[in-house]
Amino acid sequence: MSEMLLSIQDLKVAFRMGRVDGQMQRQQAVKGVSFDIPENSTVALVGESGSGKSVTAMSILNLLPSNAERSGAILFQGRDLLQASQRDLQSVRGREIACVFQDPMSSLNPVFDVATQICEPLMKHLGMSRRQALVRAEELLNEVGIPEPKRRLKAYPHEMSGGQQQRVMIAVALACGPKLLIADEPTTALDVTIQRQVMELLARLKESHHMSLLFISHDLGVVGEMSDQVVVMRHGEVREKAPVARIFGAPQDSYTKALLACRPSLTENPARLLVIDDHIAGRSAQSTAKPKDPDAPVILEARGLTKSFFFKTGLFGKTEFKAVKEVSFKLRKGHTLGVVGESGSGKTTMGLTLLRLHEPSGGEVLFEGRDLLKLSGNEWQKMRRRIQVVFQNPYASLNPRFTISQTLVEPMEIHKIGANHAERLATASALLKKVGLDDSALAKYPHEFSGGQRQRIAIARCLTLQPEVLVLDEAVSALDVSVQAQVLNLLKDLQDEFGLSYIFISHDLAVVKFISDEVLVMQNGDVVEQNHTQALLAAPQQEYTRKLLGAVPRGYQGALATS
């Protein structure tokens, strides 16, 4: 029987929100949470955004804003960390308990090289000299699977891919040999193959370092393969906690059952995804999606589309990097073309080149017979309203200084849609209703909305221009499973109502299967496979496609089947 490493007992966390009429207002984020982490085990904390899972985890080392108030007990090897002084906590952070966060680019210091960032905890906590720390840093980079570790010590974070940045973050966390590693959504922003590598790396390091892992995620597919115990949270409370086999095999709580069921599946093909509230209310899934008209007219066709970037070498030389290599496809009216591949495969560059947000290096893009790449500035400006884009990050794609009313009305004013401001405002209001928001949103600013609501507003902004084609670049990858289901259902509804055609760029094959009629698989700028969705996923022809499918997390049963 494993001894208890950490025990959280009746943890409550509230945030002071300021005074109203002389009374301090508090927002309760965590409401009496209790669970244990045994030695040499992995405990997963799961739930939607806003469930309190990250606040719970960050409470362990008090990595919370200054307006947070904590009560209860957090016992680490018998010591109550809630009662620890700041100095005691600093000696625990990094040395005995370390953290790996979701976004390594935000966690790594952009002005320091990799060596400095790994050496700092070694010198601070273990008293190593700079030379000793550099030797250990190289060993750590090798351990987390970074090629040419000695050379990479001199690199800066921006010179590395997302997967490599996350490996560096793991190396920093492991530097002092912690007993507990807190991994807060460490694979959410990564494509499936890099996600698989990071998952396997964490599992291997946990065993070799004899440490425990607190793994925070909203993706139960990942959790099923990583965890020994699962704690399910919602609205700051624990809804269920049990061994992973019971959570996946016989969940007791309605919310746990809903979380398991609302993610798109690689085996089923429903017309709509059920969201959390549907499952809790006992509503059943609709029948299989209806097939699209295979003879629908082609609205957009790419022929030999290429994009190269050039980099200076020496005084006068330059090197060509071919990001997109002669990509060809046809998109039919009312259909969705899914584009999948790893980070660096060229899928996003291809989408941005279609829109001339990157100027193409060659090829043709035919829209109703006209080559978009040859249009003059004025002609392209008129055509642009018919082909719109929804980006991955709804936080960055909306102007924080504009109200939602200004955000929606401005494109209509630029393209002279609507007779006057009142008519445009009425259109904006109607489109908000289409995406599930009401008129009260018009006067608000983007920061007042959740990620899923912001993505709905970004979609509404595109619809103000009455487009015929939408390029969706990882448009749901930053959203948790239930919000993702809502946005995917919305996209299908809008497609049915307006006859929209989508180019859906994603690294998530389960999502692509749900929404796409045809799939394009890209690797290193090339199209390696293209087929109807069902045929491609049922019998992939290329080894690369099989590798992408094999990397998809399939939960506890999937882990058993492949072990």
Q: Which of 294, 319, 299 is nearest to 309 (CA)?
A: 319
Q: Which two tokens stand for residue 125?
A: 């906590």
Out of 314-318, 430-434, 468-472, least confident range:
314-318
Same domain, 118 and 217: yes
What is the pLDDT, as a whole number, of residue 14?
95
Q: Is the pLDDT of residue 104 over 80?
A: no
- What is the rounded average pLDDT of the residues 501-527? 91
Same domain, 168 and 75: yes
* Mean pLDDT (the chain, rounded): 87
What is the pLDDT, as a whole number, of residue 555?
60
Q: Is the pLDDT of residue 560 over 70?
A: no
Out of 322-331, 342-351, 478-487, least confident range:
478-487
Domain presence at residue 326 = no
User: Considering 232, 259, 279, which residue would you say is the last residue of a domain?
Assistant: 279
Sheet of strand 298-313: strand arrangement: 317-332, 298-313, 362-367, 370-371
428, 409 in Cβ contact below 8 A?
yes
User: Considering 242, 258, 279, which residue would you say is the last residue of a domain?
Assistant: 279
Beta strand ranges found along 392-482 (DSSP E): 469-473
Q: Mind listing the pLDDT tens digit for each residue in 70-88?
A: 999 999 998 999 999 999 9
Domain presence at residue 263 = yes
Q: Is the pLDDT of residue 493 over 70?
A: yes
Domain presence at residue 285 = no
What is the pLDDT, as a whole number, of residue 557?
46
Distance in Å from the first CA to the final CA of the chain? 24
Same domain, 237 and 351: no
Same domain, 275 and 345: no
- What is the rounded average pLDDT of the residues 277-297? 77
Out of 51-55, 217-221, 244-248, least confident range:
217-221
Strand-pairing partners, residue 71, are 12
Domain presence at residue 522 = yes
Q: Which two tokens stand for residue 27?
A: 């927002």
Distance CA 28, CA 9 (A): 17
- What is the rounded average pLDDT of the residues 460-467? 90
Same domain, 207 and 349: no
Same domain, 351 and 205: no
Which domain, by its residues, includes 393? 336-357+383-562
Same domain, 387 and 271: no
Domain presence at residue 485 = yes
What is the pLDDT, as a whole number, of residue 286?
64
Convert 459-496 to b/e letters by CB count within 10 Å (16 or more is b): bbbbbbbebbbbbbbbbbbbbbbbbbbbbbbbbbebbe
Q: Is the pLDDT of residue 343 over 90?
A: no
Distance CA 358, CA 306 (A): 11
Residue with tokens 């082609």: 298
Same domain, 140 and 19: yes
**Three-state SS for 448?**
helix
Distance CA 276, CA 492 (A): 18
User: Considering 259, 279, 299, which residue would you say is the last residue of a domain?
Assistant: 279
Domain presence at residue 347 = yes
Convert 116-147 to b/e letters by CB count within 10 Å (16 or more is b): bbbbbbbebbeebeeeebbebbbebbebbbbe
CATH of the domain at 87: 3.40.50.300
pLDDT band at 258, cuts 50/70/90? confident
- What is the rounded average pLDDT of the residues 124-135? 93
Convert 342-351 to b/e letters by CB count within 10 Å (16 or more is b): bebbbbbbbb
Q: Which two tokens stand for residue 85?
A: 């002084």
Same domain, 96 and 211: yes
Q: Which of 550, 517, 556, 560 is nearest to 193 (CA)?
A: 550
Same domain, 346 and 248: no
In the chain, the amino acid numbered 268 is: E
Domain presence at residue 32 = yes
76, 158 in Cβ contact below 8 A?
no
Distance CA 474, CA 255 (A): 27
Query: What pTM was estimated for this model as a whole?
Result: 0.79
Distance CA 487, CA 264 (A): 12
* DSSP-derived secondary structure letter, 482: H
Same domain, 80 and 225: yes
Domain presence at residue 492 = yes
Share of the chain above pLDDT 70, in %: 96
User: What's the longest Cα–Cα distance across the chain?
Assistant: 74
Beta strand ranges found along 125-211 (DSSP E): 180-184
Same domain, 343 and 243: no
Number of domains in the chain: 2
Q: Which two tokens stand for residue 17?
A: 């929100």
Q: Is the pLDDT of residue 137 over 90?
A: yes
**CA angle 520–515–482, rounded 5-degree value:** 130
